[in-house]
Structures are given as C-alpha cells and as structure tokens.
Chain A
Amino acid sequence: MTAAAPARTLMGMFTNSLDAAVAAADAGRPEPVVRVQGLVKRYGEHEAVRGIDLEVHRGEIFAFLGPNGAGKTTTVEILEGFRQASDGSVWVLGQDPWQAPGSWRARLGIVLQESGAEPGLTTRECVALYAGYYPSPRNIDETLALVGLSEQADERAAKLSGGQRRRLDVALALIGDPELIFLDEPTTGFDPSARRAAWEVVDGLRRLGKTIFLTTHYMDEAERLADRIAVIAAGRIVAEGTPQTLGGRQLEATRITFMLGAAADLQTLPPALAQRLARDDDGLLRLPSTSVTADLHALSGWALERGLELESLEVSRPTLEDVYLQLTSGE
C-alpha cells in the first residue's frame, strides 16, 4: 500500500502533464463543454453503453437520439453525475461528474425525464425555492416569463397541465443561470401545440447562448432544434452529424414521384429516365435522382410535348425519420 502510493502520485503527475501537453496543442480550439471517450456502463453482465465518444461544444444544441433502451438515459445520467461510468473518461464543464463538487452543479441545469411537482407550492414558490439553492440565480419573474408561465405564477404547481408542468421543469433547470442544460425527452407525451410551445422555449434558450444536451426519440424535434445529432442504438453511436448530413442523408438520392393517366406511353420517355423509373402497385411512379434539376426538366419537357399532366408530382429528400429507422433497425 505505502509503496504503491508514491507510484500513483507519479503516475498522476505524468498524466497531468500529458493532459497539459494535449491542452496546449488544442489551445486554438475552445474546450468542449462535454467530452466523452470510450464510455462503458455495465449492469452486472449486461453492457448498456458499449464504448461511446461524444463532444458537445459551447453554444451548441446537441440532440442525442435513440430508441428506448438504447442507452440514452444511462449516458445522460452519467453526464449529470447520477450514475458512475464503468469505464472510459467523462468530462462535463471540465469535471468528472461523479466526483464533481456542488459548485459544478451550479453551472448545470437538468430537466429530468420524470419529476413530480413540489406538492403544495405555487409555480412561483417552486421557482423561488430552487432560486435559493444557487449562488447567483436569474430573476424569478423573468424566468417565469421566459417559459411562458407568468399567468400561472400563483397557481398550485400540481394543478398545471402536462405541458405547463414541463415548462416549470425548464424554469427550475434555468433559474440557476446554467451554462449547460440537459433536457431528457422534454416533450414526450405532449400534444402538438404543447410541443410547439416547448420548442419555442428551447429557441429562447438558444438565444440566451446556452449549451443544450437534448435527448429525444422524435426525429422532427431533433431536426427542428438541433445543430448536431448523434444516434445511439444498442449502446453504440451509429451515426453523428448535422440534421442535413446525418447518416449520409445529403448523399442519398432525392425521390421524384408522380402519376400518369392511362394514355401515357412510357416507352417514349428518354432512356436515361426510363431505366431508373419504377412503378408501385398503386400506380405511383418513382424516379430516384441525383441531378434533380436536369431530371425534372427532361420529365416535364416530355410531358408538355405530349400534353400530359404529371399528377401528384412530388420531389422529396429522405426524411430524417427514414435515415433514423434505417440506422437503428440494423440491431
């Protein structure tokens, strides 16, 4: 024991100086707010998270997507300091979350996946209670206004609707004026208008320059809100990118679909189009295209010459949903 201790100290000094060297090399780039390398989380024999790497930068809205049971919440709770990593390194705001002090928590806002209302307190009292936990909180009334709960300030929190409760959760996460906010499935179970209202709140946070780590299983939510997306499936990151480029989405062929009357003779189509064309059982014609402008020009020119109407004409890119289902179905 006693002989090992100095050796450990030496090791510590060595890794510290190594870290310093790496930091010096990275000096040009700002330190990421979240940095995860080789994160593994085991529950007994089961590996819930199997070695993932993540980086989230300041001011970014980062969406972490994945089906239920993929390791999403486990990962987030490790980043929040509620669970201990089995292996790998985790840095959040420059600290290991499992050993971080209270002052670290003051820089963090957390919206848990599920949390009840403080019983008996009004909306404003809930926010005032949490404001007392932070050394320099935001203004209570302004924060209520930001999440759109000024009208409900004196109502009992337990009596708020589901969407209003979630906005109160955001207010409680925001009251400490955090640099980094975790939103764990913030709109699960919402009706469409409540979701839109919640998205507007996130837009408000973006304008405040907050870094946001968002988990969700709604593609449209990630597409609407996120600057960058990572997809986790069965404990591994299967794709990472912007909403436009995730899973090579930008490289995939655009689809042109249309219908034609019975009179049309497809044999007269330019051969370049004809060989790519496929017909569905319900008569819908699909044309995968990598040069949309030229193909549309050729197609519409052909139809005009013959006085045909391209019915139900649509040009569509693969949706993020398509990409996501493709990415997560492999497992």
Chain B
Amino acid sequence: MFFLIKRLMRLRRERQVRVAEDGSASVSQDGPSAAARGPLAMVLHEAAYDLRISLRSPRARLMGIIFPIVLLVIFIGVFGNEHTLVDGSRVSLKVFYVPGILAMSIVVNAYASLVISISGLRETGVLKRRRATPVPAAVLIAGQALATVVNTAITAAILLVVARIFYGVTFAGPALAGVACTTLVGTLAFASIGYAVSGMIGSQEAAQPTVQMTMLPLWFISGVFIPISNLSPALRDLADVFPVQHLSNSLHLASVHASFSASISATDMLVLAVWALGAGAFCAWRFSWLPAGASR
C-alpha cells in the first residue's frame, strides 16, 4: 500500500515536470505563502512536509510499518491457536495480538520515531534553523503532531486490513470508531511524551538506546506481547503506572465489544491525557530547539 502511494506521488511529480516543460517560462509562480494564509494553513504546510520527511525515511518505514507487521505475523504464527481471557471473554490469541501490536505500532510511530527524529533534527541544527524563521513554535509542534497522527492512521489501517484478510480478525463498526478515538488520543499522548524525552536526550546517539530501554520492558508488561492475565499482580500494578498499558487495554476492549461505549475506556483515556499534560509541562520547562551544549 505504501509503495502504491509512493508510485502515485511519483506519477504526479512526473506530470508536474511535463507541465513545467510545456510552459515556456522556467520560473513557476508561487501562490500566497502558508504564513500569509493564516495559522491553520501554516500547520497544514508544516504537517505536509513533516509527513513527507517521515514517509521518505527508511528507518521510520521499517520501524513504524514493517516491524509491527512482521511481529504480528510471527506472534500469530507461533501462538495463534491458543486462547486467553480479554475483559472476561475467551478469545483466540489471534484476536489478542491485533490490538496488542496496534498499540505497539502507535508507540513506535508516535514515540520512538519522534524521539529519534527530533533529537536528530535538533543536534544537526535543523530545528534551530527553523526557529531562526518567524514560524511560531506552536506551528512546528502542531504540524509535527498532525503528521504523526496521519502516520499512525496509515499504519493502523494497514494492520487492520492485514488482520482481516489473513487472519479473519474483524472489529464491529462502532468498535472501529473506538479504535480510532483511542489511536488519536494515544498518538497525541505518546507524541507529547516523545517531545519530553527528546528534551532529556543530549545526543542523537543516545536516542536509539533510550527509546529501546523505555519501550521494550513496557511492551512485555502492558498486554502487547503477553496477556496481562499471565502477569503477577505486582507487575500489573507497575504496568498501570505507565501509559502503554492504558493504550493497549483500551484497544483490547474494542476487540471483544461491539458498542462504542464498551470499546473505549474513559479511565485509560484520562490516564493518557494526564501523561500528555505532564509531558507537555516538562517540555515547557526543559525542551530546547538548540543543540545540546549551546548555552544561552
């Protein structure tokens, strides 16, 4: 699907080039700039380019799209015939792994990719150069967040289609709406945490290990790889403190319930929101657009 999008984009570009060659003037007229069209246009402008940057990044594609699909195939292949309990219902592990891996892909796209790309952009001075322009910080953040939402939406759609076609795992219509809401809230929360964590990292090299160390253990105790009913109560209590468990729990609910209200957990959304606000407050205090070591 991604390659289809890429191919369409290339076709469109080729057509634009042909049009440019037909027109005798080599200078194309630019319309009014995004900044001239207002804040919303600026956010869309920023998001379009941020999305392009992440779609063209081989790392982001591999980590955010291919890796979750590979894990889904492996987990279902190995454990697909076993069963577990989700919110009181006995379900096949096939059904368990779809929302689990979906939660993982949201964390990877919104948190891991963002931490790595932001610390890279900051350390190479790209963020500083963007801040040297009149663009408001809020536009850069909102644009980045919007691009991330589109990114996770694409990945989630691919995962759900794969689950349906190859494993016959389906969601009821209202439950899909629940998945969409949880995905949106989860993406924004993890993006916010991503900004905060990237503010704690001094160098681009530290980004990758920091991301792995914070994500991996949580996947094991938050119902992503292993049903939480298999965990000790102490581990479950520990997982409850962190946001991954709340994202995955809400997505699991959608896999066993048909109505919208039962397929999304208000408590979990609240916990995610608290994490997002906490991370936002940390950013306001600590986040810097300038490379580490640049003292003011």
Q: Which residues from chain A sit less than 8 Å from chain B, CB to CB?
A: 43, 80, 82-84, 102-106, 108, 110, 112, 114-121, 125, 128-137, 139-142, 145, 150, 169, 172, 176
Contact = CB atoms under 8 A, between A and B. Distances in A.
B45 A132 contact: yes
B33 A132 contact: yes
Interface residues of B, number: 37
Contact of A115 (B28, B55, B125): B125
Contacts of A176: 133-134
B1 interface: no
Contacts of B53: 118-121
Contacts of B132: 80, 82, 105, 108, 110, 112
B4 interface: no
B133 A134 contact: yes
Nearest to A110: B132
Q: Among B49, B126, B132, find the residue whose CB has the most chain A CB atoms closer than 10 A.
A: B132
Nearest to A105: B134
A182 to B, nearest CB: 9
B171 to A, nearest CB: 33
Contact of A135 (B29, B35, B290, B295): B35
A105 B137 CA distance: 13
Closest 10 CB pairs of A and B: A116-B124, A132-B34, A120-B56, A115-B125, A102-B134, A105-B134, A133-B135, A132-B45, A110-B132, A133-B133
A133 B33 CA distance: 8
B208 interface: no
Given A116-B124, A120-B56, A131-B30, 14 more contacts: A82-B294, A82-B296, A104-B134, A106-B133, A115-B126, A119-B121, A121-B52, A133-B135, A134-B133, A136-B36, A137-B30, A139-B29, A142-B27, A176-B134
A80 B120 CA distance: 23
Interface of B: 26-30, 33-36, 42, 45-46, 49, 52-57, 117, 120-121, 124-126, 128-130, 132-136, 290, 294-296
Nearest to B291: A114
9 contacts: A83-B296, A115-B125, A115-B128, A115-B129, A120-B55, A128-B30, A132-B33, A132-B45, A137-B30
A80 B289 CA distance: 14
A255 B136 CA distance: 57
A249 B52 CA distance: 54
A120 to B, nearest CB: 4
A145 B25 CA distance: 13
Contacts of B130: 133
Contacts of A140: 28, 30
Contacts of B55: 120
B134 to A, nearest CB: 4
Contacts of B121: 116, 119
Contacts of A131: 30, 33
B198 to A, nearest CB: 15
Nearest to A129: B49
Contacts of A114: 124-125
Contacts of B52: 120-121, 125
